[in-house]
Amino acid sequence: MAKAGRPSAIVFDVGGVLCDWDPRHLYVKLIPEPQELDWFLANVVTHDWHFQHDAGRSVRETIPELAARFPKYAELIELYDSRWMETIASAIDGTCALVEELAARDVPLFAITNFSAEFFPRFCADYPVMRHFRDIVVSGEERLVKPDPRIYELALRRFRLQPGEGLFIDDRLDNVQAAEAAGFQAHQFRSPETLRAALEAAGLL
């Protein structure tokens, strides 16, 4: 975490910090052969393909496009929409417990997440921890994705934070570095335990 004054608000990432997301969690149930599963995730429903949704594209466009390229897998590709919630294995309980503790202390909580605008309401409906966030910048709604500096600049304005007032938490180093450059203090998430230690050191817990 960057050395600076005590932050007054905390800004969380979602995937990889609050929940365990990966398309593999869904498709391991649907493709029993390990080598075929690995090939499918490396070439068909890839992270890069999903990233289009985080950037604002609709599955109504992307699924038919991908199914046309890989007709053998059309049925599996189409399930990406209806069974998307199964791409989340679980909440990361230790981090969610920290959110609950921080909320009980009335620490202002916000989030910046690379997330599809279509999928995000489904996620929030199933994960009540999200009710603690005062505002959330969702990349698919804004058509800006981390680590684009503009998404952090937007968040500072939306959250009414001055440089140094917000502590940003993300599992990806490039996102952490971009947040620091934009005026956040930042912590690269590795585990709930190391995050708790950082929050205690900052005087927030």
Residues sharing a CB contact under 8 Å with residue 57, sequence separation 6 or more, in sequence order: none
> Which backbone phi and psi does 12 adopt, to 5 degrees?
-100, 145
pLDDT of residue 1: 44
DSSP 117-161: TTTHHHHHHH-GGGGG-SEEEEHHHHT--TT-HHHHHHHHHHHT-
Mean pLDDT score of the chain, rounded to an integer? 96
Which of 168, 91, 169, 163 lies closest to 130 in space, CA to CA?
91
A 10 A CB-CB count for 102 gives 19
Q: What is the mean pLDDT of residues 18-33?
A: 98
Q: Please check the confidence at residue 3 and state whether its pLDDT lies above 50.
A: no
Q: What is the pLDDT of residues 44-96, one digit of tens each?
A: 999 999 999 999 999 999 999 999 999 999 999 999 999 999 999 999 999 99
Grouping H, G, I as helix, E, B as strand and the rest as coil, residue 162 is: coil
Residues sharing a CB contact under 8 Å with residue 173, sequence separation 6 or more, in sequence order: 188
pTM for the model stands at 0.93
The rounded percent of the chain whose pLDDT value lies above 70 is 98
Q: What is the pLDDT of residues 144-189, one digit of tens each?
A: 999 999 999 999 999 999 999 999 999 999 999 999 999 999 999 9
